[in-house]
């Protein structure tokens, strides 16, 4: 068989697999964006709804969750920079989340505040990760990814010929 023909067939197969992977990834992202995951617990459902209501609120909560997972706190000024929001927007989110008991706010020297997620917020994110893992696992994306990796290795052998 002609080496050029083999290379074209391998590339075509890889492109088809990548398109399938992209389609499945898109379906997962759509389900996530639509908030299609049902939550029985009212408090957790409100956290989910809040985090899906805007990209900035989602980022705010994710940084707070990461701080908690790393046994750390974030200063308000750092959160403002990380999320890319104004101080007024940050103050609104801090008040909303603190009033709902979704974050822990500690005051330090000079009244500087440090923030991390409360346990219920971390649990809500852990539930989301379990849901997402099942969705990804059921989609068979791991096998698609492994196939793409093997084809890319095969393509490298063609470059030596």
For the chain, which residues make up each domain, given as ranges? 3-159
Distance between CA atoms of residues 113 and 80, nearest Å? 12
* Integer angstrom CA distances of residue 65 from 18, 81, 89, 119: 32, 16, 19, 9
Report pTM: 0.82
Q: In this predicted model, what pLDDT tens digit does every residue of 88-124 receive, in sequence order?
A: 999 999 999 999 999 999 998 888 999 999 999 999 9
Distance between CA atoms of residues 120 and 45, nearest Å? 11
- Does the domain spanning 3-159 belong to CATH 1.10.1060.10? no
What's the sign of the alpha-carbon dihedral 125, 130, 131, 137?
A: positive
């Amino acid at each position: 068989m002609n080496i050029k023909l083999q290379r074209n067939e391998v590339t075509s197969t890889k492109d088809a697999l990548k398109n399938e992977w992209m389609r499945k990834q898109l379906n997962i992202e759509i389900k996530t964006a639509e908030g299609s995951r049902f939550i029985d617990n009212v408090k957790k459902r409100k956290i989910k709804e809040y985090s899906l209501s805007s990209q900035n609120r989602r980022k705010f909560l994710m940084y707070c969750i990461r701080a908690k997972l790393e046994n750390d706190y974030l200063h308000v000024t750092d959160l403002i920079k990380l999320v890319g929001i104004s101080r007024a927007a940050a103050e609104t989110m801090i008040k909303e989340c603190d009033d709902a008991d979704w974050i822990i706010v500690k005051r330090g020297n000079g009244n500087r505040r440090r923030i991390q997620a409360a346990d219920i917020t971390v649990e809500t994110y852990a539930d989301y990760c379990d849901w997402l893992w099942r969705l990804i696992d059921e989609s068979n994306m791991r096998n698609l990814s492994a196939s793409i990796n093997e084809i890319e290795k095969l393509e490298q052998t063609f470059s030596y010929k």
